[in-house]
């Protein structure tokens, strides 16, 4: 069943006519649906959402603004791109990853200016990063 892009709201694919009006209001093909309106509103107002990505190996992720990404898998590489900022909103891209015995290869957008330069990544540490207006900071604990 199809889902909305931000909250994952289910969009019905019921082809019966019994609930046709309701179905069209939920996921109309002619206009923006109610589910899409709710989804867009949530994506533009949710500043506390966290997504956990528990994947081992190579991870490529397009990060949404104002969502905290927690990468919990055993990473060999992490490649991050930044989704389009929301107009007229402060948009911050942030997350956390843990290094294991093997240090993962990290790729961030090349236009990011890192405060105090990008650090040397070490094994067995937790790192958090924050990027806003193409200025980034990354720290470890």
> Residue 49: its pLDDT value, please?
83
Pairing relationship of beta strands 105-107 and 135-140 according to DSSP bridges: unpaired
Cα torsion for 93, 98, 101, 106, to the nearest 10°?
Answer: 0
Among 115, 103, 49, 101, smallest CA distance to 78 is for 103
Contacts of 64 (CB under 8 A, 6+ apart): 6, 43, 83, 93
The domain limits of the chain are 1-45, 47-140
Element holding 131 (H helix, E strand)? strand 126-132
pLDDT at 24: 65
What was the pLDDT predicted at 22? Answer: 64
Tokens standing for residue 75:
């990473």
pLDDT tens, position by position, 65-124: 989 999 999 999 999 999 988 888 888 999 999 999 999 999 999 999 999 999 999 999
Q: What is the pLDDT of residues 17-47, one digit of tens each?
A: 666 666 666 665 556 666 777 777 777 665 6
């Amino acid at each position: 069943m199809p889902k909305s892009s931000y909250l994952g709201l289910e969009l019905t694919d019921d082809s019966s006519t019994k609930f046709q009006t309701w179905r069209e209001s939920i996921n109309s093909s002619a206009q923006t649906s109610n589910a899409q309106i709710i989804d867009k509103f949530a994506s533009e107002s949710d500043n506390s959402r966290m997504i956990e990505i528990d994947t081992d190996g190579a991870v490529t992720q397009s990060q949404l603004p104002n969502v905290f990404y927690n990468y919990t898998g055993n990473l060999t590489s992490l490649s991050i791109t930044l989704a389009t900022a929301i107009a007229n909103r402060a948009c911050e891209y942030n997350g956390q990853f843990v290094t294991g015995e093997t240090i993962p290869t990290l790729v961030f957008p090349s236009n990011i200016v890192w405060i105090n330069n990008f650090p040397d990544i070490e094994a067995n540490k937790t790192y958090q990063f924050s990027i806003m207006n193409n200025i980034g900071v990354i720290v470890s604990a």
